[in-house]
Amino acid sequence: DVKVTQSSRYLVKRTGEKVFLECVQDMDHENMFWYRQDPGLGLRLIYFSYDVKMKEKGDIPEGYSVSREKKERFSLILESASTNQTSMYLCASSSPGQLAKNIQYFGAGTRLSVL
């Protein structure tokens, strides 16, 4: 089974802090994604990466950055956390190519509260 592990289930941070959310997958997937989940808005893509050191902005990248130094790990960084970044953050991974069927596999999520 594919395993996508997010380092924290719950985080509480203060406004202005630098926050790191970590995600690790064990299936050698090329693609990794960070989403933000808010009630009534579904999942919105923040950033994704299709290879080590490669990244692309999603729909809501403002206030976030990412790092992918190793294939299995994709980090989401909030440079200066703000209260409007309080949300559930989901990491996902997938493999490109037809056999993979475009299926994404998700971590359990990190619920971040910024006070």
By the criterion CB under 8 A, which residues form the site for other proteins?
A: 4, 31, 33, 35, 40-45, 48, 50, 58, 90, 94, 96, 101-104, 106-109
Query: CB-wise, 38 or 79, nearer to other proteins?
Result: 38
Q: 82's torsion region: left (phi>0), alpha (psi -120 to 50) or beta?
A: beta
- Provide the minimum distance between the beta carbon of 43 and other proteins in the complex, in angstroms, as a whole number: 4
- Provide the minimum distance between the beta carbon of 30 and other proteins in the complex, in angstroms, as a whole number: 9
Query: CB-wise, 78 or 107, nearer to other proteins?
Result: 107
| Structure token pair of residue 105 | 């596999």
Q: Which of 74, 68, 63, 99 shows the shortest CA–CA distance to 5?
A: 74
- Provide the minimum distance between the beta carbon of 40 and other proteins in the complex, in angstroms, as a whole number: 6
Q: Is there a contact between 43 and 88 (Cβ–Cβ < 8 Å)? A: no
